[in-house]
Amino acid sequence: MSFVKRILLASILVACASVLSGCWNGRLLIAMDQTAWAAEDGDTLLHRPLVWTSLAHGYIPGFLLIQPQEDPVASLMKALKTRHYQAVVLGPVLFPYQGDMFPAGTRALVMNDQAVFQQGGVARLEFDRTAAFRTAGLAAGLSISHDAGGTVTNALASRIGVLISARPPGTASDLTAFTEGVAQALDGGQPSVRSISAPVDRIAVKAAIDQMRKDGVEVFLLFMGAPDGWALEDLKDTGGSAVVSNWAASGAFPRQVFLSIEMDFVGGVSLFLAGRQGMVSGPVRIVAGQGRTIPAQVMPLVTPR
């Protein structure tokens, strides 16, 4: 029996068990932007866990992947009219819609700060990454201090740099938290910051990496989104390691990754399906790469890959 058939059979068995045990809650629609799905390596890291999580909570999942050229609202409305869903999950995709969208009695979870819903029963998935970025900054500072023989001076902070785009994918609080962590480890020292103007291209990223390495930067916080992969590839040649976001999706260049701040989308969906309402706080974890040794002080907060 093929792997796909085994998964399908297991899904059917779990679904049947849910119905027989009285845990049947209905159908679940998971709608995501195709680009975001691919960036998160959806087929490999999201699809199967989302299926199992849905089934574990008594839902039969269906997936709607919206292509870049499609109108997301029109695509979603069409899907909702085609079949009745008891619950809907909207992944990180822009829905510029205000008002009531979902059929009466349908629970919904949205992961979008720009969408405004007046309808009751709509929960919002958010990830508070502040503590994780502060820990990452602390780890970077402690690691640099260790390399300097245990010396703690604010001058060592110059060995830590932030490479940021004109429109960073993170928030100002993430960057502030990282800076606070560095300052805590290195007597108030501040990392250097280099901004790349839009559009961010491969040549600009390489030039920035080369210059920062010449300036003595050893640990980078990459705050550019998709171009982070370019920077990791450049670091493979120039040396150095980086703190990144959601690197585990690709797993590329592990020797250039120091730490990765990972948002657990599946864990957030699980909380929602378990009955959480209002603001759903998605789990955030810090995943270790192979770029540097993790300082003992923060090791309990880091997840091995």
The reported pLDDT for the residue numbered 4 is: 45
Q: CATH number of 24-126: 3.60.21, 3.10.20, 2.30.30, 3.40.50?
A: 3.40.50
CB proximity list for 276: less than 8 A, separation 6 or greater: 123
Q: How far apart are the first and last CA of the chain?
A: 31
130-264+283-303 homologous superfamily? Response regulator (3.40.50.2300)
Query: Two tokens at 299?
Result: 């090791």
The reported pLDDT for the residue numbered 19 is: 47
**Which DSSP category does 112 fall into?**
-
Side chain identity at 204, as an amino acid letter?
A
Over residues 161-220, the pLDDT tens digits come to: 999 988 777 788 999 999 999 999 999 999 999 999 878 899 999 999 999 999 999 999
The tens-digit pLDDT sequence of the chain (305 residues) is: 444 444 455 555 555 544 444 568 899 999 988 877 877 778 888 899 999 999 999 999 999 998 888 888 888 889 989 999 999 998 866 555 555 778 888 888 887 655 555 566 688 888 899 999 999 999 999 999 999 999 899 999 999 999 998 877 778 899 999 999 999 999 999 999 999 987 889 999 999 999 999 999 999 999 988 788 899 999 999 999 999 988 876 678 999 999 999 888 899 999 999 988 778 888 999 999 999 999 999 999 999 87
84/191 Cα distance (integer angstroms): 52
Query: Two tokens at 33?
Result: 């932007």
Do the two domains 24-126 and 130-264+283-303 of this chain adopt the same fold?
Answer: yes
Give the pTM.
0.79
Alpha-helical segments (H) within 83-227: 130-147, 172-185, 202-214
268/273 Cα distance (integer angstroms): 9
Query: What is the residue extent of each domain of the chain?
Result: 24-126, 130-264+283-303
